[in-house]
Amino acid sequence: MHGDETVGREVLLHLIDFLVTNYGRDPVVTRLLNSTRIHIMPTMNPDGFEATEEPDCYYSHGRYNKNGEDLNRNFPDAFENNNVTIQPETRAVMNWIKNETFVLSANLHGGALVASYTFDNGNAVTGSSEGYSKSPDDDVFIHLAKTYSYNHASMYKGTGCDNRQTFPEGITNGYSWYQLEGGMQDYNYVWGQCFEITLELSCCKYPPADQLEEFWRDNKVALIEYIKQVHLGVKGQVTDKDGTPIPNAIVEAEGRSHICPYRTNQYGEYFLLLLPGIYVIKATVPGFKSMLKTVEVSSNSDNFSALKCDFCFSEVSIKTRASSCPKIPLYQELERASAAGKPTLNIFVLMTVMLVILK
């Protein structure tokens, strides 16, 4: 993502080579590729990489794109207005997210050794006043981050890169580490329906070339185990009485609704990452009665298939219209709505007390 943070770029090239050369030879790789659609983008900022002429462990102008913009501050933000010009690289990634059904992803960085998870930004709605910005799927994100850190050669130790910075178990909530707006992982989770974490893979942003092989060895198992987590939870299809897929039906687990509701894709498919447990899955087609199904999720990542749970709306014979959330600070709007409701509640309580006194 940042052109001068080079380890991720090299590690992903190694990952591509590892997958294609071990298909048909390694049983885990073979099952993974037979059951999983994997997209790999080795670099999001090629101009920044080319501009980094002198390797530096700490900082260079290669962090930015040709226009001098930090791409990890360039996405629409769910908490506040991000007054930046969307860059071509960012726009390309946003279109990529929109046109694919991504379920799980990671964006790779350097300068620290930690797995960081959403939210990177926050407000009172997500508990940021406590120094932690919690998403509806916080338990899943902690699991994903730990999956990477504990399968990494040393990330799980949490020692950080200097005495001032430690990360217990090698993970951190993004907001707890430091607040940022316009990050890709929050955007992908809110608007892309994709669970994304940020992986900081090296204390030195641009290390010597002779260290790259070691970085690959440190991350190889973690990358494979992380990709396998896409098979957690529940997946399925929503159809009408004729078996025709219904796109844009809302499908979510009760108790963890998203501010931008998660919807089926053009094939009527949905994917929800959930940890083992019992859940009520709710499917809604606008204008019709919702359907509820109780499911018991087990740990299916090693089986390379999430639990299957389909919904058939027998009374529906039309496709729903396309629906998408506006690219505005959705959590800011929710905070305002929440604050606006409080005086009404206070007045109601006051009136109740007065009625009791009068009686």
Tokens, residue 149: 């850190």
Output phi, psi for 277, to 5 deg.
Answer: 160, -175
Among 69, 89, 200, 252, the active-site one is 200
The contacts of residue 192 (CB under 8 Å, 6+ apart) are: 97, 98, 102
200 catalytic residue (yes or no)? yes
Instruction: Please report, as a single letter, which amino acid is at residue 181.
Output: E
Phi-psi region of 228 (alpha: psi -120 to 50; beta: other; left: phi over 0): alpha
Tally of CA atoms within 13 A in the half-sphere of 204 that contains its CB: 10
> What is residue 74's DSSP assignment?
-
Question: Nearest to residue 31, comparing CAs of 252, 336, 301, 261?
Answer: 301
Q: CB–CB of 75/182 below 8 Å?
A: yes
C-alpha to C-alpha distances, 13 to 17, 27, 40, nearest whole angstrom: 6, 21, 9
What gap in Å lies between CA 25 and CA 38, rounded to an integer?
18
Q: CB–CB of 282/292 below 8 Å?
A: yes
Handedness of CA 215, 58, 40, 150 (dihedral sign): positive
Kind plus residue range of the DSSP H or E element containing 214? helix 212-228
User: Hey, is 239 helix, strand or coil?
Assistant: strand
What gap in Å lies between CA 303 and CA 296, rounded to an integer?
16
Q: CB–CB of 143/137 below 8 Å?
A: no
Output phi, psi for 86, to 5 deg.
Answer: -60, 125
What gap in Å lies between CA 124 and CA 339, rounded to an integer?
10
What gap in Å lies between CA 200 and CA 216, rounded to an integer?
14
Q: Which residues are catalytic?
A: 200
